Structure 1
Amino acid sequence: MMAAEAGAARNTLLAYERDLDGASMLLEGRLGEASPEDLHRLAEAWLPLKRATVARKAAALRRFFGFLQDEGLRGDDPSAALPRPGSDRPLPKILDHAAVDALFREIERRKAEGGTAALRLSALVELLYGSGLRATELCSLPRNAVSPDRPFLILRGKGGRERLVPISDRARAAVAEWAAHVPRDSPHLFPSGKKHLSRVRLYQLIKALAADAGIPPERISPHVLRHAFATHLLEGGADLRAVQLLLGHADIATTQIYTHVDSRRLIELVNSRHPLADAGPTGARRAGRAAGRVDARRNPA
C-alpha cells in the first residue's frame, strides 16, 4: 500500500519496515493484534529515545493500524494509545552573506591558479547556493541536465517528486566551464570513477573550501548551503510558497522553519509594513508632526 498507493520513496519504505519490525519484536510478534495496553508498553520502551524518533515510530504504527482497519483485518484502531510527542526540530545552520562571499573569493583564487578541480568546485557551489539542490540531487545530475540556453532544470527529488529548478546565469556559466572538461561518454555531470561524485566526497570538498576561506569547517556542509539559499531568498523578500517549490518540500511546514532564523527582520517587517504600524503612539506622533507641517503651509507666518 505504501509503495503502490502512497508512492513512498525507497528510504521511507525501509524506515517503515524497521519501525514495524522493531515494534513487532517488542510485542513478541503480536503487533497486528496489539491492544491499547500493548501500545502503552511500547511507549514506555521508547522513553529513552528522542522525541523525533518516537514521533516517527508512532506515525508508522498509526499508518499500519489504519491500513488493517481499512482492509477489514481488524475492527478497531488502537493507535489513539500511541504517544504524540511535540516537535523539537532544531533551527537550521545558515551562513551569512559575508561567509558566502568568502567562499566565492576562495573559489576565484583557485580558478586563477588553474586546473579543472577549481572549475568543478565552482559549478558545485554555484548549484548548491544558487539553486538550493540537495547533495544527492547535485552529485547525480546527468551530463546534459544544465543547458546553456535553458534557465532551469527538472529534477526528480526526494520521494520521487519532480520540480522545476531555476538556474542562474552565473551557475550556467560555471557549469559550462566545467562541462567542457567532462568526458563525452560520461552519463554524469560530476563523474567519479565508474559512477558519479559521492555525497561524502562533496562534503569533504565543501569542508576544505571553508577552511581555506577562513570559515570554521564545522559551520558548513552542502546542506548548510541549501539552507543559506532558502534563508537569503526570504531575506530578499521571496514568497514562502515559492521557496517551498524551489526546495521541493512536500509540506510548507517544513519550509516555515526558515522564517524563524531571522526573527529580527520579521519584526521589522511587521512594524514597518503592517497597516496598523502608524496607529500606535509613535504613529500618532508622526501623524501630529505631519499635520503641523500642513498647517504651517496653509498659515505661513
Structure 2
Amino acid sequence: MAAPSRRKLPPPSAAELAPGWLESIEDFAASLSLERGRSAKTVEAYESDLRQAAHFLAERGRSGWTRVTGTDATAWSQALSDQGMAASSAARKLSALRMFARYLVHNGDRADDFTELLEGPKLRRKLPETLTTAEVERILAAPTGGDAFGLRDRAILELFYSSGLRVSELCGLLLQQVDLEHGFVRVFGKGSKERVVPMGGAAIQALAAYLEAGRPHFVKPSRTGSQLFLSKRGTAISRKTVWVLVKDYTRRAGVTKPVKPHLLRHSFATHLLGGGADLRAIQEMLGHASIGTTQIYTAVEQSRLVDHHAKFHPRNAED
C-alpha cells in the first residue's frame, strides 16, 4: 500500500495538468450547472477541489482519472488530514471527489467507484443554541411602550417566536400574507417555496394591535407599499434593524446570551419538540427541505434532558 503523502498540498490551479484530467472536471462542472442547477460559486468550488486532487494524484504517478484507485483516494484523504486541515474543509473536498467518482461511473468513463470505501473525517455536529422558556418570556415582555415602535417591536418578537420564521421571511411579509382571523401566516421561504405557518394567540393579539394603532404611524403615502412591518421611513423594515432591536430587547430583558433573530427560531422548534410536537410538523413549519435538518432539534432536546438529569437527580450529587 502506498504511503500517504506528507508534502505540502499542491495548489488547486489548472497549470501543468494533462488535458485528460481537466476535460473530465470541466464536463462534470457543466453537468452540475446545467443539469443540477448548482450556483456558479458552488461549481467553482468543486472545480477547485478536484483540480487540487488531480495534482496530488498525478504526483502519485496516475496518468488520468481512469487509473485512480481506492488506495489513491485514501492517500488524498490522509494528505488533507496531515496538513491539519479543518474537518469541515476536508469533508467538503472529499464530498466533491465522491460526487465526481459517481459521475464518472454514470458517464461510462469508469466501471467502478474508486471512492466507495473512502472514509472522511468525523464531523462533530454543533448543536444550535437555544433559550429557555423563561428567557423567551422576558424578551417578549421587553417592549413595554404603547407607541408605534413598541407595538411594532412587540408584534415582531411575538411572531418570530410563535411561527419560527427566518428573519428574511419576516422582513419580506406582505399584509395579504397574514390571516389574523384564522391564525396563520403564508410564507415564501427558500427557493420561493410556499408554506402556511400557524400563529399563537399572543402573536395574533400583538399583530392586531400593531395593525390598528402602530403601522398607520409608519405609513408614508409616497413610499409605503403592502409590507407588513415598516421602518420609520415608511419602507419595509430591514434585517439589520431587526437584528438591532432583538439585541436591544435582549439586553433590556437581562438575558446574557448573545441572542440573534435565528435564536428565536431555534427556540421555537426546540420548545415545540419538548412539548410533544411531531417532528414532521415542525419540519413543515420551519420550511426545511429535509427531515434530517430538523432532527438536530432532537439532539438539542436530548442534551437538555441529560443536563437536567445531571443537575437534579439525587444520585448525581457530588459527595
TM-score by length of 1: 0.71
What pairs up with 1:119-268 in 2 under 5 angstroms?
A: 119-179=151-211, 180-181=215-216, 183=219, 185-191=224-230, 196-218=236-258, 220-263=259-302
Closer, same or farther: CA 153–70 of 1 in aligned 2, 3 Å: farther
Cα offset, 1:217, TM superposition: 4.6
Q: Gapped runs of 5+ residues in structure 2? A: 1-30, 59-63, 307-319
Closer, same or farther: CA 199–66 of 1 in aligned 2, 3 Å: farther
- The answer to whether the 8 Å contact 1:143/1:186 transfers is no
Question: Which residue pairs with 2:44 in the alignment?
Answer: 17
C-alpha distance after superposition, 1:157-180 (max 9, x if no partner): 235543321122332333344443
Cα offset, 1:95, TM superposition: 0.7
* Counterpart amino acid of residue 149 in structure 1: E
Range with bigger deviation, 80-89 or 247-256 = 80-89
* Counterpart amino acid of residue 52 in structure 1: S
Question: Which residue pairs with 1:96 in the alignment?
Answer: 132
Q: How many residues align?
A: 259
Closer, same or farther: CA 69–119 of 1 in aligned 2, 3 Å: farther
- CA RMSD, Structure 1 to Structure 2 (Å): 3.4
* Counterpart amino acid of residue 227 in structure 2: H
Cα offset, 1:74, TM superposition: 4.7
Q: Gapped runs of 5+ residues in structure 1? A: 268-301
* Counterpart amino acid of residue 152 in structure 2: R
How many Å separate the matches in 2 of 1:191 and 1:158? 22
C-alpha distance after superposition, 1:263-296 (max 9, x if no partner): 38868xxxxxxxxxxxxxxxxxxxxxxxxxxxxx
Question: Which residue pairs with 1:79 in the alignment?
Answer: 115
Question: Which residue pairs with 2:65 in the alignment?
Answer: 33
Closer, same or farther: CA 61–188 of 1 in aligned 2, 3 Å: farther
- The answer to whether the 8 Å contact 1:153/1:166 transfers is yes
- The answer to whether the 8 Å contact 1:95/1:225 transfers is yes
- % identity of equivalent residues: 36
Q: SS where residue 181 of structure 2 aligns?
A: coil
How many Å separate the matches in 1 of 2:117 and 2:191? 29
How many Å separate the matches in 2 of 1:173 and 1:239? 26
